[in-house]
Structure 1
Amino acid sequence: MNSEEIISFSLIEEPWISCVDSKGNPRCVGLRQIFTGDEPLLAIRGDSPAQDYAVLRVILAVLWRSHHVDGPTARMDFSMPDWFEERMEEVAQGKPDTKVLDYLDRHAGRFDLLHSTAPFMQVADLHTKSGVTAPVSRIVPEAEAEFFTMRAGQPRETLSFAEAARWLVYVQAYDYSGIKSGAVGDPRVKNGKGFPIGVGWSGMTGGTFLVGKNLRETLVLNTTRDCLVSGSEEHQDLPVWERSVDTAAQRNGGVIEIGGPADLATWQSRRVRLHHNGSQVTSVLVSNGDQIPDAGLNVFGDPMTPYRFSPNKSKKGFDAFYPRPFDPQRTVWRSLEPLLAIESDLPYLSGATGSKKGLAPKRPEIFNQLMEYWADEVLERSLLPVQLVSVEYGAQASSVASTTASTVVLPPALLASDNPVARRAVLNAAAATMAAAINLGQFAGNLLVAAGGDYAFQSGSTDSILGQLEGRFNEWLSGWAGQPDPGAYAQSWQREVESAIVAEAEVLMRSAGPKALVGRPDPRSGADAAQIVTAATYFSRLCRSLRASLPLLDDAQARSLSTTLTSKEE
């Protein structure tokens, strides 16, 4: 078969979404299979966590638009708790979602990856003046390194249609910035080049989603009221497949008003064309697409990301917020404030994480919707895993540096608006843990001095101990469901941190070598009064530092914290 023949690859019918079923077996399904109820799918498990998140959001956009409520009267009468209960019952009984299936039938033509005039998330006639295209590695972040190979060890030169579809969705969500191929028809092109417009929308955000018992439950849990009632007759919230087919240029002449959750979940940050030989994708073209206005300033339509306050961009009568990505190096420890904070917590946040300036961050809207379900008693108050996905970019965001996925288990007590005590204690615990881990990195650097070398902070030791503590921290977070005494419970965590760090420090001392045990004159003290520093010297200093970083090791401090937090709650 050659590329001139009429072929198609329907993302509705053909298998392309990599999943695992309820028994943990790998499956590959089309969009229709997810909603028929014929087989229980546990979760999406594709080629990378970021790709999985991007694909999940495409599926969510399908669900949101299928159940969208149109018209002011219908929206006024719409009950989100009723909708939630109906969907959860439907999922539990394994029934098909007929609204989604009907919706997919209505828009089937726009879900064809190889359509001659409207290929999915592509521009059919996209081309450059020179006709140049790029290898398939262009749309696979790991592939742009030389080590990207097939099973046989040969460089990848093609992608299956299924894999290409997954990476196409990823590129629209997460593509890096930098100079792109200049597409004919894009007025922004200069000298054959498309100049940087920033990363894809999801790359600007801290990807956050609630994890249900299975994939369909996950979809329901990550649907907020705004997802179903957003937009208006004049300004609709439409995914890419419900809009006019894109051209090489930005839509609406570059004057883009963001429609809402569905628009952002399928944001076309790039113009793409997949070239194929009839059976596989052989090359690609990627050029600039729709630029997010003002680098994401006050773009609040995404329910699955936290937002950070920007004091520098704010002014009287105007509060500036930007989507907040997670730190991929220490995601769990640095993500808690943007995940948990609410505006009424601001006085407490100042004491929890150091000096604060301005307003509290905005947590993902899916958490606020979850609290409403608990208040309406349509969902049991139980522990819910929260998946966090982050992409870190290189210099000037012109390459992908790393992708990180972490899981945090948050009990209802930490999300409830009337429980600032637990939130403050948890934020304190995360900050104290990071401070203590930094003490360990300093200790490891000091061992180099004791052995006769130069001091260098050992970030690997810090990151290693934080990684070791992450699972235990999640268990400790779960314990807040039992509403323990905040001071005593916070103290128990700091004692666990101290124990883990001391144990790791002892391992580092044993491996530091005999020179570190014997020691040397301290090169940082005066020549006339040089003292001998050994591994034991620095171990003693570490223990003193830990008492400062973990203040609740002092029983009096822990009792004082309980009294202070309780009085502030009252």
Structure 2
Amino acid sequence: MGVRDALVHADLLEGLTVTDPLEGVAVLRQVLLPVVIDAVGAPRDRAEWARRFEQGRFDGEDVQRIVDYLDAQAAAFDLFDPLRPFAQVAGLRTAKGETKPVSLLIPRLASGNNVPLFSARTESDPPALTPGAAARALLAAHCWDTAAIKSGAVDDPLVKAGKTTGNPTGPLGQLGVVVPMGATLFQTLMLNMMIMPQGVYPVDRPQWRGEQAAGPRWRERGPLGRLDLLTWQSRRLRLIPEADASVPGGVVVRRVVLCAGDRLRGSVQDLEPHTAWRQVERPKADDPPARPVRHQPGRAAWRGLAGLLATAGPTGDRVSAPAVMEQLAGLQVEGRVPEDLPLRVLTVGVRYGTQSAVVEDVMVDEIPLPVVALAADSRVREVVLAVAEGAEALRIAANRLGDDLRAACGAEKVPWDRGQRLGDLLIHRFTPVVRRLLAGLQRQPDAVEQAEDAWLLVARRLAWEVADPVLSAAGPNTFLGRAPDQRFGPRLSVAEASFRRALNDILGPASPRTAPATGSTAA
């Protein structure tokens, strides 16, 4: 489906279906949102935003504006235009005429130093991408490409020895991207549509409406506005089409030229809508006041609820919610979005390897989120945050239990970055429970007390399901411990008593229903 049909029928589509979430975020940010903002205009206030959202679709006037806009810009969206190809540089080449496999644009495929552990292809066997797939990979590269050395382009005055060094990652590679999503593509577009009281800056425009075609020269500069930031050209690229009669359309892309592109200068906190920010405690003269919060590998999105819901001010560790979440919170407080909105939050991030020159991991998660939890005085918010805080405290308690049992038999603690600890196992078991709790509160926010009671019951049961096997399997030497003369030295009974006390502190005193079902060592 093309851009025109996707936007015109946005109310009939559930969303974007892509095999690579990096490409999905790139399509939303680099094409769909900028087209709507540039063609229709951004809402000037909450009332205008709510009016559009309540329609559930683009009205006839907005549809006509989108269609007219895309008709006028049709040439700029030609992927293989010889003079001005979309998001590329016409005639881009290196001094030696070198090209790279198109897999360079796709982190999950082997290319150069980026060799995934399990890859169906080698660098010498790049895929043959259809024009649509090549366009998505192209957009993702502008957002997430690796850093370090890039091929030097002819006519780039900053090239040295055929290379350009010091390249940062794509701009989204430094962020923990947070994207709110609704029941339809239209709702998703509106949830990510920032209100602009002053409208779009006169100098601001998407990359395809630049005054002149992009060339091999690049600059370090600040963005001209939100449209410029969303369509930032962080690389100079050229896709190389090949004729292939065996595929629909008869054209594929197997090779690409990739060189250095524009570098962002200064802080973009005022313009960037899709990441949380952490205030710098003691910034130096040249430091920005806040830095983007990045997602942590192996950490489920629900564990970051405190940051997602920090819409009324920074959390204790100085984290503020993404701008799209702050805006949605303001709209919810004013009653401009329904309380049963099926809101989902997509989180996407990349972990880079050596000098950010390789992609080591792509973190993707999606959670349901009750809209009423965004309100500062909401009981749902209170319970949701208590669940996240309690789960983290239980993780620490389970880790401490494991450390105490190892100490009882004279072993060293498990290093935090090695092996699997009890707390990690417990958090893994909590994830489906918390997802169900969030989904239930999304449908029935009035059932918050029942949800809290259910959490306390299930959390205690799961904690004992993790703890009881290790307590039961503890060796005989842990009964007295390695220091039997010490009254409270490390031993099995002390470890279990400490764990019980932690459970009661976190979840409240145990009732007959929430007590452990199996036996334990302490009386």
* TM-score calculated relative to the size of structure 2: 0.81
Deviation at 1:310, TM superposition (A): 1.1
CA distance in 1, matches of 2:157, 2:370: 51
Select which of 460, 468, 478 maps to 1:498.
Answer: 460
Which segment drifts farther, 113-122 or 258-267? Answer: 258-267
Mapping 1:449-464, distance limit 5 Å? 455-457=413-415, 458-459=419-420, 461-464=422-425
Does the CA contact (< 8 Å) of 1:68 and 1:229 recur in 2? no
* 1:396 and 2:358 aligned: no
* 1:47 and 2:19 aligned: yes
Does the CA contact (< 8 Å) of 2:177 and 2:347 recur in 1? yes
Deviation at 1:494, TM superposition (A): 4.6
* 1:482 and 2:446 aligned: yes
Amino acid at match of 2:99: T
Does the CA contact (< 8 Å) of 2:151 and 2:162 recur in 1? yes
Amino acid at match of 1:465: L
Amino acid at match of 1:190: K
Amino acid at match of 2:424: D
Select which of 273, 284, 292 maps to 2:238.
Answer: 273
Q: Secondary structure at the match of 1:127?
A: coil
**Equivalent pairs, count:** 489
Does the CA contact (< 8 Å) of 2:425 and 2:466 recur in 1? no
Deviation at 1:464, TM superposition (A): 3.7
Select which of 288, 291, 308 maps to 1:339.
Answer: 308
Does the CA contact (< 8 Å) of 1:37 and 1:94 recur in 2? no
Mapping 1:217-366, distance limit 5 Å? 217-226=187-196, 229-233=198-202, 236-243=203-210, 244-250=212-218, 253-254=219-220, 256-278=221-243, 279-294=251-266, 297-313=267-283, 320-344=289-313, 349-350=315-316, 356=317, 360-366=318-324
* 1:188 and 2:167 aligned: no
Does the CA contact (< 8 Å) of 2:339 and 2:372 recur in 1? no
Q: Secondary structure at the match of 1:52?
A: helix
Tell me the equivalent position of 1:20. none
Distance 1:270 1:38, change over 3 A: closer
Does the CA contact (< 8 Å) of 2:100 and 2:257 recur in 1? yes
Does the CA contact (< 8 Å) of 2:430 and 2:459 recur in 1? yes
CA distance in 2, matches of 1:110, 1:128: 24
Residue by residue over 1:167-223, the C-alpha shift from the partner in whole angstroms, topping out at 9 and shown as x without a partner, is: 111111111212111222333322222113321111222222222111122112221
Amino acid at match of 2:166: P
Select which of 421, 431, 444 maps to 1:470.
Answer: 431
CA distance in 1, matches of 2:489, 2:10: 72
Select which of 172, 177, 190 maps to 1:202.
Answer: 172
Which segment drifts farther, 540-549 or 256-265? Answer: 540-549
Which segment drifts farther, 116-125 or 39-48? Answer: 39-48
CA distance in 2, matches of 1:327, 1:225: 30
Tell me the equivalent position of 1:148. 119
CA distance in 1, matches of 2:262, 2:137: 18
Amino acid at match of 1:467: H
Tell me the equivalent position of 1:67. 40
Amino acid at match of 1:389: V
Amino acid at match of 1:286: L
CA distance in 1, matches of 2:27, 2:344: 19
Does the CA contact (< 8 Å) of 2:144 and 2:169 recur in 1? yes
CA distance in 1, matches of 2:500, 2:125: 50
Q: Secondary structure at the match of 1:179?
A: strand
Deviation at 1:479, TM superposition (A): 3.8
CA distance in 2, matches of 1:341, 1:321: 15
Mapping 1:116-135, distance limit 5 Å? 116-135=82-101
Q: Secondary structure at the match of 1:66?
A: helix
Distance 1:413 1:277, change over 3 A: closer
Q: Secondary structure at the match of 2:129?
A: coil
Which segment drifts farther, 285-294 or 106-115? Answer: 285-294
Residue by residue over 1:139-163, the C-alpha shift from the partner in whole angstroms, topping out at 9 and shown as x without a partner, is: 110112264326x9x9434322221
Residue by residue over 1:9-33, the C-alpha shift from the partner in whole angstroms, topping out at 9 and shown as x without a partner, is: xxxxxxxxxxxxxxxxxxxx11111
Does the CA contact (< 8 Å) of 1:521 and 1:531 recur in 2? no
Does the CA contact (< 8 Å) of 1:66 and 1:100 recur in 2? yes
Deviation at 1:493, TM superposition (A): 3.4
CA distance in 2, matches of 1:459, 1:198: 33
Residue by residue over 1:298-353, the C-alpha shift from the partner in whole angstroms, topping out at 9 and shown as x without a partner, is: 5321222222211232669x970122222232142442232111455x5xx44xxx
Amino acid at match of 1:260: G
Residue by residue over 1:489-511, the C-alpha shift from the partner in whole angstroms, topping out at 9 and shown as x without a partner, is: 7676355323212102335567x
Distance 1:292 1:334, change over 3 A: farther
Residue by residue over 1:100-133, the C-alpha shift from the partner in whole angstroms, topping out at 9 and shown as x without a partner, is: 2211111111111111121111111222112222
Distance 1:409 1:453, change over 3 A: same
Deviation at 1:92, TM superposition (A): 8.7
CA distance in 2, matches of 1:149, 1:489: 45
Does the CA contact (< 8 Å) of 2:180 and 2:191 recur in 1? yes
Identity %: 26
CA distance in 2, matches of 1:129, 1:108: 32
Q: Secondary structure at the match of 2:88?
A: coil
Residue by residue over 1:46-71, the C-alpha shift from the partner in whole angstroms, topping out at 9 and shown as x without a partner, is: 122222111121211111111126xx
CA distance in 2, matches of 1:191, 1:38: 48
* 1:407 and 2:366 aligned: yes
Q: Which ranges in structure 1 are unaligned for 5 or more consecutive residues?
A: 1-28, 70-74, 351-355, 557-570
Amino acid at match of 1:178: A
Which segment drifts farther, 366-375 or 268-277? Answer: 366-375
Q: CA RMSD in A?
A: 3.8
* 1:32 and 2:1 aligned: no
Deviation at 1:374, TM superposition (A): 3.2
* TM-score calculated relative to the size of structure 1: 0.75
Deviation at 1:440, TM superposition (A): 3.1
Deviation at 1:411, TM superposition (A): 2.4
CA distance in 1, matches of 2:75, 2:232: 19
CA distance in 2, matches of 1:48, 1:222: 20
Does the CA contact (< 8 Å) of 2:149 and 2:165 recur in 1? yes
